């Protein structure tokens, strides 16, 4: 929980676009120092210039969150410039689709590296310095927000690697919340579970590192279908990234753990949990919009 953001420090990964940039805009308006990290240099440069123009003290930092040493360097640079942060947003993420057995080893390594280990590194690096700050200052308030997805609470078909990574982020975040409650009342945590929101997530392959590129390997039919569906769903979202960023700050002020962009989607989560409780086979996730499931099935079964 943070009740006053003025003169506090925010560390944001994935800050060059989407939720990260929108949170940086709010942080600047609230008088925060802003540490902006992103893997894409041009996006980071443009975003940092914009936030600086709003009057905030900005530290831009290019990094790949899947690399432990780079996140550790981010932590050291942020601490040296501003001291222990108050708001840490482990937000950087990438998307990947296709039938789960068609994902290659490089697909798994890339998505898990960014989506899971990126959050793990952020938690590992920043939580100790936040707890140390809390011990030294009874007035210190800190909050960690990890970006998961509704795909961390549901398991839609044809996006298995992404689902797995986001379920891991939800589990990590719930455990972080409980672990923090054991040791402090001054630092808390939230998990962000957005549904389809217009961000750059569906085009995250633009930043896929060379080590995970698969030269000479064409996308499978299921992967191309998944990409097309993701592009359409994300770009047609009615809730904006700015809306979600405001939800994040509201949740921090209220010490609310679960942050949803589309509360109506929780009905599907309830159905999934009932499936588990009743040992019932998984319900069709497209039961409320059967035309989507039928179209996907027809496309995948077509010769």
Indicate which residues carry an active-site annotation: 162
Q: How far apart are the C-alpha atoms of 204 and 64, rounded to whole Å?
A: 13
Tokens of 110: 């890339």
Which ranges constitute the DSSP H helices of the chain? 18-29, 41-53, 68-82, 105-112, 118-136, 160-183, 221-235, 241-254, 266-277, 290-301
- How far is C-alpha 25 from the chain's CA centre? 17
Question: Nearest 5°: phi and psi at 154?
Answer: -130, 165
Q: How far apart are the C-alpha atoms of 280 and 268, rounded to whole Å?
A: 14
Q: How far apart are the C-alpha atoms of 140 and 131, rounded to whole Å?
A: 9
Q: How far apart are the C-alpha atoms of 87 and 56, rounded to whole Å?
A: 15
Instruction: Please say whether the beta carbons of 240 and 198 come within 8 A.
Output: yes
Q: How far apart are the C-alpha atoms of 113 and 295, rounded to whole Å?
A: 32
Task: Please state whether beta strands 9-13 and 58-62 pair in parallel, antiparallel, or not at all (unpaired).
Answer: unpaired
């Amino acid at each position: 929980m943070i009740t006053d953001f003025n003169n506090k420090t925010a560390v944001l990964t994935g800050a060059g676009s989407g939720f990260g940039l929108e949170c940086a805009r709010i942080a600047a308006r609230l008088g925060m120092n802003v540490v902006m990290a992103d893997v894409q240099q041009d996006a980071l440069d443009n975003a940092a210039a914009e936030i600086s123009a709003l009057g905030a003290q900005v530290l831009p930092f290019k990094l790949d969150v899947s690399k432990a040493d780079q996140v550790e360097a981010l932590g050291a640079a942020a601490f040296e410039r501003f001291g222990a942060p108050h708001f840490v947003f482990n937000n950087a993420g990438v998307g990947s689709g296709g039938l789960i057995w068609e994902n290659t080893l490089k697909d798994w390594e890339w998505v898990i590296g960014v989506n899971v280990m990126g959050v793990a590194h952020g938690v590992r690096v920043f939580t100790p310095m936040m707890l140390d700050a809390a011990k030294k200052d009874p007035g210190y308030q800190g909050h960690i927000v990890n970006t998961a997805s509704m795909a961390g609470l549901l398991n839609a078909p044809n996006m298995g690697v992404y689902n797995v990574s986001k379920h891991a982020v939800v589990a990590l975040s719930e455990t972080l919340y409980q672990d923090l409650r054991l040791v402090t009342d001054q630092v808390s945590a939230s998990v962000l579970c957005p549904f389809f929101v217009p961000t750059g997530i569906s085009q995250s392959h633009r930043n896929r590192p060379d080590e995970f590129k698969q030269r000479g390997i064409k996308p499978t039919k299921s992967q191309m279908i998944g990409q097309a569906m993701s592009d359409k769903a994300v770009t047609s979202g009615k809730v904006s990234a700015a809306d979600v960023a405001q939800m994040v700050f509201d949740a921090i002020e209220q010490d609310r753990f679960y942050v949803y962009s589309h509360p109506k989607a929780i009905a599907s989560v309830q159905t999934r949990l009932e499936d588990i409780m009743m040992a019932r086979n998984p319900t069709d996730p497209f039961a409320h919009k059967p035309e989507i499931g039928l179209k996907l099935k027809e496309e995948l079964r077509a010769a």
